[in-house]
Chains A and B, each alone.
Chain A
């Protein structure tokens, strides 16, 4: 096993220099997507590492969307939505919260670093919070290097 681990991490080390991680952020239509929008409108500095996928509610984010993002080469996946109590479908994010608990456990047990999967509640007016979040995650992932689930040949 050890030689394979070495083989898997070798290109990782080489790539870290000047390498931009790919981060997939799931955002709900009513809050965190608005947050991303305000981040842009407010011209808050943020790296170009993020690919946003808009869903109607964070409750729509199926854990298998997250697995799929990793298998397709995401270096980190962010699950975001309205603050608890503010979900536009009453309790969608309560369901997100418990689904996330399972997901987080599975991803952790699998041996994926915890920085690669993160949950955050961001309102439509919290542009700065969104930008800071992306900046922080990008910095963390740059330190970690590419995801071990990234398929061969995918940047």
Chain B
């Protein structure tokens, strides 16, 4: 197996297949890496309920095997979880997780040589609080009655404990302000080719739909990971059919275009009154620092430049904290949406940060987290 190859595969363990998002390949691949000592630890999500889960770092193969499933309303981020721990680790990662991990790698907080990144194709994730509200308002069902959830043909389907299915199109949900987090709507990394191996259900055809995962090997590490799982008897793979490969490429293109359209819709230029707009949005900030703590590209630790200026000095019209962060995130923000997710006073922070990051990253032709290129500041040549 080598970089560039594509396969369709599934877990050889029936219960993992049953619980898995689509075939349980990812779970079994992670478990095999642990079993065969390719890594010392694996990150998986431990489910609390249908809408919430916490990421755990484990060295217990059974814990990994018991984790499976794609949780669309869990927008957790794994980069900071494994940062500064010096782990030999394998972990699943949505596009934004991968970008965060790579940025932490550039900042020497994660050793990428020891990190096996299993990328998950990602059409988007939802905020758990918004999901609950959406269930009551749009679906008219009690969150407690939900038994399972899946996305099929543009519809978000919830299954209730009585066995009934409730489907609404994602377009309709988003028109009403529900559905995916805003950052996911304009996210353009749908197939994480920046990971070691990209996995997803796009491109799975025929009888295998829902029962297998399509993988694309992006690096030597990715090849090693999959080969190891096959050798250990944890997963089975076959070559994908041409139709599947074409379909996957097509959906990827469509989704990326959709992301770009959303970007235009969210970031309508503000000609006049920008300062007042930012001041108004930040008005209720309580300086808790959560937006900085979760930010997966920041590796400053507790004492950092922005937090030195937390409390608003004198009669300042804006907090230095946010000004410093607007600047520092201009080249670093990966648009993961974490800051908006955690803000206790619901400031749409990602939208604010991206106002600065979009023009800077476009101008400098720099996309953080997509490859190992260093931030442009570090590329300064002598007397250029």
Contacts and interface: CB of A to CB of B under 8 A. Distances in A.
Determine the interface band of chain B, counting residues with CB < 8 A from chain A.
35 or more
A112 B364 CA distance: 22
A98 to B, nearest CB: 6
Given A5-B276, A8-B276, A105-B359, A71 B313 contact: yes
Given A1-B273, A94-B383, 16 more contacts: A4-B276, A5-B272, A71-B317, A71-B320, A84-B384, A94-B380, A97-B380, A98-B377, A98-B380, A101-B360, A106-B323, A106-B327, A109-B326, A109-B355, A111-B270, A111-B278
Contacts, number: 102
A132 to B, nearest CB: 26
B216 to A, nearest CB: 35
B238 interface: no
Interface string B289-331: 0000000000000000100010001111110100110110011
Interface in B314-352: 314-318, 320, 323-324, 326-327, 330-331
A1 to B, nearest CB: 5
What 3 A-B pairs come out closest when comparing CB atoms? A111-B274, A151-B315, A111-B275
A1 B272 CA distance: 11
A8 B377 CA distance: 36
Given A5-B276, A106-B330, A98 B376 contact: yes
A70 to B, nearest CB: 9
28 contacts: A5-B272, A67-B324, A67-B327, A71-B323, A84-B383, A84-B384, A85-B383, A90-B383, A94-B382, A95-B380, A98-B376, A98-B377, A98-B380, A102-B360, A105-B359, A105-B360, A106-B323, A106-B327, A109-B274, A109-B359, A110-B275, A110-B278, A110-B326, A111-B272, A112-B275, A148-B275, A149-B317, A149-B318
Given A63-B327, A90-B382, A94-B383, A106 B356 contact: yes
B330 A67 contact: no
A72 B323 CA distance: 14
Nearest to B315: A151
Contacts of B315: 151-154
B381 interface: yes
Interface string A1-28: 1101100100000000000000000000
B49 interface: no
Given A109-B356, A151-B315, A99 B377 contact: yes
B39 to A, nearest CB: 38
Nearest to B382: A91
A151 B313 CA distance: 11
A112 B313 CA distance: 20
A150 B314 CA distance: 12
B320 A67 contact: yes
Contact of B280 (A1, A64, A71): A1
Contacts of A95: 377, 380
Contacts of A119: none
Interface in A108-150: 109-112, 148-150
B361 to A, nearest CB: 10
Given A149-B275, A151-B317, A64 B305 contact: yes
Contacts of B62: none
Contacts of A106: 323, 326-327, 330, 356, 360
Which of A1, A85, A106 neighbours the largest number of chain B CB atoms within 10 Å of its CB?
Answer: A106
Nearest to A108: B359
Contact of A64 (B270, B323, B381): B323
Contacts of A149: 275, 317-318
Contacts of A105: 330, 356, 359-360, 363
A91 to B, nearest CB: 5
B318 A71 contact: yes
A103 B328 CA distance: 10
B320 A1 contact: no
A115 B320 CA distance: 21
B281 to A, nearest CB: 11
A102 to B, nearest CB: 5
Interface string B360-376: 10011000000000001
Given A99-B377, A102-B330, A151-B316, A64 B324 contact: yes
